[in-house]
Structure 1
């Protein structure tokens, strides 16, 4: 693997500063991207989540800064959470390399004078457009669009058109983890004939991540999560829930069980969101319960497991959930809860994805390997004497020497009815046994 010190065009002070905070080796996307951006080439860069895209554009930007009087780069991101994330990376670099300033615009009504002359501006499309009259943009050299697919599909089309039409003589770069063909068409609309680098190999998530469907059987999402935590004992995990009500129910259940965790969703005040993420990053908690607000761009080291308690409405978000683990070459695990009786979305994900999935069933004492969802279970021979007699009796009752309409269907219905009643009887017997056991305790 190449290293930052192999770039002769990077200042030694910057290389040494990066090394002092642990950035020595280049990821593949950094190795491909940095030389192009240093030469001020427009580009579209696709790489799996967790591959180091943020640093891939920040290093050339910092290298280009030679004074503190002008804004050299504008970074556009789809959410404030991602803006803060990029800001955190810059904060760490600036502690060892103070030759630049930066501003994360969090509120259009709360601009400070420093924003006018910050070397790097990070903002959402709306906040940038609202506050750009306060900035000095004449010397901007880089215009970066991070999480480009989310910007394009996230309702920012009008804002992107306005930003693209600004009279900026800046190098434009778009970064994304998605590989959708429709996205490629829209990217060409915004980026024209820019150089395209694709390191996704058809997958949004890193190859080091294993993906497992987990049949939670009769359990609720909250019960299944608690049992999973007890059985698997993940080192550091993020649990995603897409529905607000379900998310609140799981949070309430975790509190009732006194399971320590952090909790984040879009309606939380920003201060509480930052505290929850900080507690999780600093290992004060090892479980983060989250809505899909945390699925994009969130960079937390050492996340060993991602648990999707359900699948998001937009299945593309699953890959971004899974991308919170297996970052920067580390291994990771992504688990998807489902019930075998209702495998609808699970099958849809399997059909659309090029990922190889594993299958398991969550039991009280283990996560047991299971069969592929697409493989039908083998029919087992009936070895219950009483049930066999009842089925024969049902067939005889519906048998006729004359050919009657729907004869085969009626026989099948009769057999199904016998099996259903037999199953109900077993369940009732088991319930009565359980009740007696509880009474005798």
Structure 2
């Protein structure tokens, strides 16, 4: 069995990592450290998320730094502040036994004046996000001309976030004689181009296959109606009482909304996204790492700095648009050799993405049945019993109260005592779930019949849609608020640009029409009617279309909603020619 002692590290470093519990190097550490200790060649390291890449480049880098030389000798670029903070903290811990070695972290969202003061006091290693470092370079607050080692960490993500121009500008401020180390979890063509443009004959080490996921991760998905997405999320969380995980959302807005809903419903959750101040982000991360939070709702970019070994679950509230993002998301769990579960919430329309993921990652995805209320209650009850069985009794602390407790409960038999004890703890879950709906989709045949029209439902037309800021949850909430009709009585919902369709049980049709009578929303007078026909985009019902018209319309609908699954060049498919800069700016702002 290999050990860190055999890799050529100094006693000071070995003692520091031994205190952290490091015993056996991971594959990327074992292969990278001896090569990097030489310090003379460029290097490309490819390994899955959670395999110890920070130590793979951090430990040899610290050995190469000369503390007596008070100038920046190494620069580490990170795509996000959270990851930069994590890297800097790790380096400070690794170098605790090296006298006078100074690591300075610079990133946006914090006081630039304070960061300048730290740089002036002397920095051997600078850990930076590209945007803040460029600002410091323009202010002439940092001199990178003597940097000998440049490390690009999470290089694929830096390019996804649109940092290519920033990286070019930063590299132009460094010496041509520097050594460049590039680390990444995936190897898309953009990262390959970096190695060709900025590096000279690099040594390349790959641990595992490119764009694959950790074998210790179990990949699962739940099939659901889009309107049930949040309720399914709650049911999944309740089904795993000891869950400690991250819920990934596509946008900052969705992240904040889901977190607020969870907190309102009593879950120990919070949000992490680019709209938070640095103080807020630090507080959320601190609470999550010390387990004051059980659930973290995050965007892809914000979660890049999360380095927690014990996450049990990753939940994809929506699947990401790119394959690499799924790899990074799922890689947050099953770290340090442990097992984890990656769960995706998908609609039938999105199932092709799951199939494509399975094919490209060469990994099986298991479709799992959404737990029904009885199963959730049983799981919660047994978890409670296990906690009772495992609790450590504080004999001395409770001794003064035992006589009074025995006197109060002496009339109860053991069986009665257990029943009452369980009922007191368990009543909340049972009341919520005893009449809960089965959220599993019906069979394919039943879904087809429903799509063709349920005789027990009316098809309703309403003249508001996506351009009015309406999504399925908002429409269901609006129907409930205006008409008193609950979401469970509403069937299929189809959202268009300036209008929408939804099915409702026939017994509630009149309530819907009366509830919206005279209503004005967003300055628009609401028009609602029973209609089985699809109107034009102007909102006027259009009848009597030929079958060919319908087929062409269906094809247009599929194109409009981007129902294609994953493609190798999905960024081009999604953004289109000329949209790259706007997309890059948006991703950079997220950081």
TM-score range, shorter chain: 0.7 to 0.9
Q: Which residue of 1 aligns with 2:328?
A: 320
> Is 2:213–2:361's contact at 8 Å kept on the other side of the alignment?
no
Match of 2:243, SS?
coil
Whole-angstrom CA distance in 1 between matches of 2:53 and 2:451: 60
Residue in structure 2 matched with residue 154 of structure 1 by the alignment: 161
Quick check: 1:37 aligned with 2:45?
Answer: no
Q: Which runs of 5+ in 1 are unaligned?
A: 368-376, 381-414, 434-441
Q: When the two structures are superposed, what TM-score results if normalisation uses the length of structure 2? A: 0.60
Residues 378-393 of structure 1 mapped to structure 2, 5 A cutoff: none
Among 112, 115, 123, the alignment partner of 1:118 is 123
Superposition pairs for residues 367-382 of structure 1, below 5 Å? none
Q: 1:307 aligns with which of 301, 312, 315?
A: 315
Q: Note the alpha carbon deviations across 1:36-78, whole angstroms, 9 max, x for none.
A: 1111121111000000001111101111233242322110111
Give me the TM-score of the superposition, normalised by structure 1: 0.79
Question: Of 275, 283, 293, which residue of structure 2 is paired with 1:267?
Answer: 275
How far did 1:20 drift?
A: 1.1
Q: CA 1:136–1:202 in 2, change beyond 3 Å: closer, same or farther?
A: closer
**CA–CA separation in structure 2 for the residues paired with 1:99 and 1:115:** 14
What is the distance in 2 between the residues matched to 1:93 and 1:182?
Answer: 32
Q: Does 1:224 align with 2:224?
A: no
The 1:211/1:300 distance shift into structure 2, 3 A limit, reads same
Question: Structure 1 12/417 Cα, relative in aligned 2: closer, same or farther at 3 Å?
Answer: closer
For the structure 1 residues 342 and 52, does the alpha-carbon distance in structure 2 shift closer, same or farther, using more than 3 Å as the test?
A: closer
Greater alpha carbon shift after TM alignment, 339-348 vs 310-319: 339-348
1:251 aligns with 2:259: yes
Partner of 1:101 in structure 2?
Answer: 102
- Cα distance in 2 for residues equivalent to 1:249 and 1:316: 25
Indicate the larger mover: 240-249 or 319-328.
Answer: 240-249
- Aligned to 1:213, which of 207, 221, 232? 221
Kept in 1, the 8 Å contact 2:46–2:210? The answer is no
What is the rounded CA distance, in whole Å, between the counterparts of 2:144 and 2:269 in structure 1? Answer: 43
Distance 2:451 2:372 in 1: 31
Partners of 2:350 and 2:145 in 1: CA distance: 57
Q: Which residue of 1 aligns with 2:14?
A: 15
**1:153-196 C-alpha deviation (Å, 9 max, x unpaired):** 32222222233333253221000001334532443223242111
Match of 1:410 in 2: none
Shift of 1:239: 0.7
Match of 1:135 in 2: 142
Q: 1:378 Cα shift?
A: 8.4
Q: Output the aligned Cα RMSD.
A: 3.0
2:16–2:93 CA contact under 8 A, matched in 1? no
Question: Is 2:6 the partner of 1:2?
Answer: no
Equivalent-residue separation in structure 1 for 2:178 and 2:452 (angstroms): 72
> How many Å separate the matches in 2 of 1:229 and 1:98?
47
Structure 1 residue matching 2:285: 3-state secondary structure: helix
Which secondary structure state, in structure 1, belongs to the residue aligned with residue 93 of structure 2? helix
> Whole-Å Cα distance in 2 between the matches of residues 157 and 290 of structure 1?
24
Instruction: Using the TM superposition, name which of 164-173 and 43-52 deviates more.
Output: 164-173
Contact 1:44 1:191 in 2 (8 A): no
Question: Following the alignment from structure 1 to structure 2, what is the Cα–Cα distance between the partners of residues 56 and 180?
Answer: 21
Alignment of 1:233-248 (within 5 A): 233-248=241-256
Select between 186-195 and 234-243 the one with higher mean Cα deviation. Answer: 186-195
Q: Indicate how the Cα distance of structure 1 residues 418 and 222 shifts in structure 2: closer, same or farther if over 3 A, else same.
A: closer
Which residue matches 1:88? 89
Structure 1 residue 114: Cα displacement: 3.2
**Which residue of the partner structure matches residue 25 of structure 1?**
24
Compare 268-277 and 118-127 and name the one that shifted more: 118-127
